Amino acid sequence: MGQSLLKVLFGDPFAVMNTIGLLAFALVGSSKAIREEFDLLGITIVGLAMAFAGGATRDILVTRVPLALQSPIEISLGLLGVGLAITLSIVLTSPDTHPITLLADAIGLAAFTTTGAIVATEAGVSAFGVVTIATINAVGGGAVADILLDRSPFILFDDFYASCAVLGGCAYFLATVVGVSGGTAAGLCAVVTVLTRLAAVTYGWTLPTVQGLGLVER
Amino acid sequence: MGQSLLKVLFGDPFAVMNTIGLLAFALVGSSKAIREEFDLLGITIVGLAMAFAGGATRDILVTRVPLALQSPIEISLGLLGVGLAITLSIVLTSPDTHPITLLADAIGLAAFTTTGAIVATEAGVSAFGVVTIATINAVGGGAVADILLDRSPFILFDDFYASCAVLGGCAYFLATVVGVSGGTAAGLCAVVTVLTRLAAVTYGWTLPTVQGLGLVER
Amino acid sequence: MGQSLLKVLFGDPFAVMNTIGLLAFALVGSSKAIREEFDLLGITIVGLAMAFAGGATRDILVTRVPLALQSPIEISLGLLGVGLAITLSIVLTSPDTHPITLLADAIGLAAFTTTGAIVATEAGVSAFGVVTIATINAVGGGAVADILLDRSPFILFDDFYASCAVLGGCAYFLATVVGVSGGTAAGLCAVVTVLTRLAAVTYGWTLPTVQGLGLVER
């Protein structure tokens, strides 16, 4: 734990992004469960599922024991995010759609895209593997949270959500190809992801449906 | 197989709890599928999914090939539980809500909480890891069964279900910390889990919702 | 990539079946998403999920990094299948129920049953393990696609779908037991699976429900 804290203080890109992502996604996941009037256990489960499901899937894909089960600080950060969501739900109405939550979601998306890209690159997978693991790390938690809430995962409908993670993952891979430092690649990945996400929310970017393209008879 | 049977006879805590859990959860899962009028294949899939999904997730989390795929006796026990459910469905009306099924569910919950705690402790994860893997082992099967049945996992709504596994997992960890034998810790974990679960069902224990606490405007 | 292509040309059973399965299931998965009017990203995600989820689960079960994340050709084949589905949706009405799609689904089912049986046998699991991994490899993608589409997985309702994979997996195991070559066992597995599936679709084979057997009061 101490070591992890030191890493954060000294700016290890993975530790910084992982800390930000855990707090942000636990907050967002819990807010969704509060909206659905789940009990405190359900709120905690959905919050922790959103915070850890993406990273656990990433770790399983590179065949290592999920970090969350090895480091106490990880769970503490997740529970802190759950507490923040409950606090927000007291001071805000419909916290799950409040700008603070939307911002937290965009920040979490960017942070986890970056952690995924870092771990995948260390695991030595293909370019497709880096972008895929970065995207799964970023959107996996939200998808699991939605499945727990018995909804069709919103990532399939919100066009510029997973797309932002894909763009961020590509940015990270390209940055490493041109040989910049890991910290620079991580920062670039996070900035590309969060800016494209915020722009998508602000300007309502969408991708066309096949029907929308007028290619298919409705 | 012979070795596993011997282990059961000689009281290896993992083998005993694993045998009980597989029979109990295959029975409960199949009963849910029978209620939904699934066909025999669907009944078998849901029963085996409930029996094996939790343990398989536990094994994947500690990066080992799921026991169920290596030992023939595991599948035999699962299929036996499916057969028991079909037999029960013939002699009982609404077997999925019958006291026998509720008792089997509580016993399976306790047995799998214990197997999860044993495997996690052997894998040397953190205290949070032990409780988390014990809980996932215990409730994972039921959650997967519900998702296969296209329901929102009941563990999110039935307050004192996953909570009992969390309590049992904590009991196991604390018992090992104070240095009792593995068998004693396993027994304590199982007793704590099954008693809290039966008490919760009997007395209708619930956890408050944030709304219930009057903290949020409905 | 070149190596994989050579393997295909020289008839490595795994490479041949894997190529066929990826194309077929990406096509089928994308067609389902087009039917649901998902956007292009959603169509791609569901198509790739159906193509890769089964194989990725198989690889995780035998604790190895999923092939799809290591070989660029795998993703290329998945994306090609997605493109085929979009093309089909332009030239056909309701492509997801068109005979071409049903045939592609049966071929994909047979191809992935075979790749699952090959990998499981190499991993040295039990007979039950070989049949289970073959079946999970075959039906896992479709189940994940349905969950993403927020449906109860059709494999639980379409009686002779998973059943065909189980029969194919048993055929592969028995063939290896009697000592035929891997290529022959693979061919036998694929033929048994695709023929039983096509016969099931053609003749509307079903398995009885417990209710159907008249064993339970409705």
Mean confidence (pLDDT) of chain C: 86
Domain-located, residue A93: yes
Which residue in A157, A212, A215 sits closest to C88, CA to CA? Answer: A215
Which residue in B213, B58, B36, B22 sits closest to B133, CA to CA? Answer: B58
Cβ pair C45:A207 closer than 8 A: no
List pLDDT tens digits, range B103-157.
999 999 999 999 999 999 999 999 989 999 999 999 999 988 987 887 766 665 5
Higher-scoring residue by pLDDT: B89, B150: B89
Domain-located, residue C218: no
What percent of chain A has pLDDT above 90?
57
Query: B–C: how many Cβ contacts below 8 A?
Result: 84
Once rounded to an integer, what is the mean pLDDT over residues A171-198? 94
Which residue in A137, A126, A134, A132 sits closest to A177, CA to CA? Answer: A126
Q: Chain C within 8 Å of A140 (Cβ-Cβ)?
A: no
Place of tokens 């999970």: C136
The strand pairing partners of B209, in sequence order, are: A39
At A6 the pLDDT is 47
Cβ pair C209:B150 closer than 8 A: no
Residue C38 with chain A: CB contacts under 8 Å: 156-157, 209
Which residue in A44, A114, A34 sits closest to A78, CA to CA? Answer: A44
Complex ipTM: 0.71
| Contact by Cβ (8 Å): C43, C86 | yes
Task: Give every CB contact of residue A215 below 8 A, 6+ residues apart in sequence.
Answer: C86, C89, C90
Taking the C-alpha atoms of residue A52 and residue C199, their distance in angstroms, rounded to an integer, is: 44
List pLDDT tens digits, range B197-209.
999 988 888 766 6
In a mutagenesis test of the A interface, which of B216, B217, B218 is the best target, namely the one with the most A β-carbons within 10 Å? B216
Report, in angstroms and rounded to the nearest whole number, the Rg of chain B calculated over CA atoms: 17
- Smallest Cβ–Cβ distance between B125 and the set A46, A65, A149 belongs to A65
A40 SS3 class: helix
Which residue in B46, B169, B191 sits closest to B119, CA to CA? Answer: B169
Domain-located, residue A209: no
Number of structural domains (chain C) is 1
At A122 the pLDDT is 93
Question: Which tokens is A155 given?
Answer: 């990532």
At C16 the pLDDT is 92
Taking the C-alpha atoms of residue A81 and residue A138, their distance in angstroms, rounded to an integer, is: 17
User: Residue B209: phi, psi to the nearest 5?
Assistant: -90, 165
List pLDDT tens digits, range B174-198.
999 998 988 899 999 999 999 999 9
Query: Residue C3 pLDDT more than 60?
Result: no
**Range name among A64-78, A83-97, A180-194, B25-39 with the lowest pLDDT average:** A83-97
List pLDDT tens digits, range A55-88.
999 999 999 999 989 888 898 999 999 999 999 8
| CA angle in degrees (0–180, nearest 5) for A14-A18-A19 | 120
The strand pairing partners of C39, in sequence order, are: A209
Question: Which tokens is B194 given?
Answer: 């099954």
Domain-located, residue A81: yes
Domain-located, residue B209: no
Q: In whole angstroms, how far apart are CA C50 and each of B30, C7, C31?
A: 26, 24, 11
Q: In whole angstroms, how far apart are CA C188 and each of B89, B169, C182, C195?
A: 38, 47, 10, 11
Taking the C-alpha atoms of residue C32 and residue C55, their distance in angstroms, rounded to an integer, is: 19
DSSP conformation class of A97: G
At B2 the pLDDT is 47
Task: Give every CB contact of residue A210 below 8 A, 6+ residues apart in sequence.
Answer: A216, C34, C37, C40, C43, C86, C89, C90
At C209 the pLDDT is 66
DSSP string, B13-74: HHHHHHHHHHHHHHHHHHHHHHHTT-BHHHHHHHHHHHHHHHHHHHHHHTTS--GGGT-HHH
Taking the C-alpha atoms of residue C195 and residue A168, their distance in angstroms, rounded to an integer, is: 45
Place of tokens 């990273």: A55
Residue A209 with chain C: CB contacts under 8 Å: 37-40
User: Residue A97: phi, psi to the nearest 5?
Assistant: -115, 5
- Smallest Cβ–Cβ distance between C39 and the set A63, A127, A206 belongs to A206
Which residue in B25, B26, B24, B19 sits closest to B5, CA to CA? Answer: B19
At C119 the pLDDT is 96
Task: Give every CB contact of residue C2 below 8 A, 6+ residues apart in sequence.
Answer: none
Cβ pair B211:A37 closer than 8 A: yes
Query: Residue B1 pLDDT more than 60?
Result: no
Domain-located, residue C78: yes
A209 SS3 class: strand
The strand pairing partners of A39, in sequence order, are: B209
Q: In whole angstroms, how far apart are CA B60 and each of A166, B47, B123, C12?
A: 26, 20, 12, 29
pLDDT-based confidence at residue A89 (cuts at 50, 70, 90): confident
Cβ pair B156:A37 closer than 8 A: no
Query: Residue C71 pLDDT more than 70?
Result: yes
List pLDDT tens digits, range C19-36.
999 999 999 999 999 988
Please report which residue ranges of B62-181 form alpha helices under DSSP H: 72-91, 99-123, 127-148, 159-177
Cβ pair A148:B152 closer than 8 A: yes
Domain-located, residue C209: no
Give CA B47 to chain center in angstroms: 12
Q: Chain A within 8 Å of B204 (Cβ-Cβ)?
A: no
Place of tokens 């890493």: A7
Taking the C-alpha atoms of residue B83 and residue B79, their distance in angstroms, rounded to an integer, is: 6
Question: Which tokens is B169 given?
Answer: 């997992």
Domain-located, residue A214: no
Q: Chain A within 8 Å of B184 (Cβ-Cβ)?
A: no
At B6 the pLDDT is 47
Cβ pair A216:C89 closer than 8 A: yes
At A146 the pLDDT is 87
- Smallest Cβ–Cβ distance between B151 and the set A34, A71, A150 belongs to A150
Query: Residue C159 pLDDT more than 70?
Result: no
**Structural domain for C113, as ranges:** 2-203
